[in-house]
């Protein structure tokens, strides 16, 4: 098992292998995103937060996933183009991953294992 979240291999949207070690010492907001989702406007708010707090050490790390009703069908290049041209996103966007189920990426497997059990019901709650 990987010893740290920082050591888990991830890929950038342009296909480079990396880890979150590059962000050591920063506050990382890891976000599952989808550009064909009803919440796509989240990119604008995430970018505002990133711009406002990056000098204080915050970084937003976007991980697109197509696990929820096919809301992220595009290629990494299409996703980056959409995010930068529509919302002027400057924060890092990574390659598409799976964030649930049998194909869950090791990063999300670790993050969800560390998280307390979710409670409540609502339209944004997806049961595994």
What pLDDT is stored for residue 128 in this prediction? 41
Nearest to 76 by CA among 107, 21, 35: 35
The set of catalytic residues is: 37
Instruction: Give CA–CA dist 58/101, Å, rounded.
Output: 29
* Per-residue pLDDT tens digits for 2-26: 468 899 999 999 999 999 999 999 9
Give the residue carrying structure tokens 């809301």: 71
Record the pTM.
0.84
Fold of the CATH domain 5-114: Glutaredoxin (3.40.30)
Q: CA torsion sign, 40 to 8 to 55 to 12?
A: negative
Domain ranges of the chain: 5-114
* Per-residue pLDDT tens digits for 41-93: 889 999 999 999 999 999 999 999 988 877 888 899 999 999 999 999 999 99
């Amino acid at each position: 098992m990987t010893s740290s979240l920082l050591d888990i291999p991830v890929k950038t949207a342009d296909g480079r292998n990396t880890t979150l070690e590059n962000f050591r010492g920063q506050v990382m907001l890891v976000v599952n995103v989808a550009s064909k989702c009803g919440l796509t406007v989240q990119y604008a708010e995430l970018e505002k937060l990133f711009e406002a707090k990056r000098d204080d050490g915050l970084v937003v790390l976007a991980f697109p996933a197509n696990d929820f009703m096919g809301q992220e069908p595009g290629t990494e290049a299409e996703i980056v183009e959409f995010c930068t041209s529509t919302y002027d996103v400057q924060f890092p966007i990574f390659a598409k991953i799976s964030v649930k189920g049998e194909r869950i990426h090791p990063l999300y497997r670790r993050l969800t294992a560390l998280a307390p059990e979710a409670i409540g019901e609502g339209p944004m709650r997806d049961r595994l």
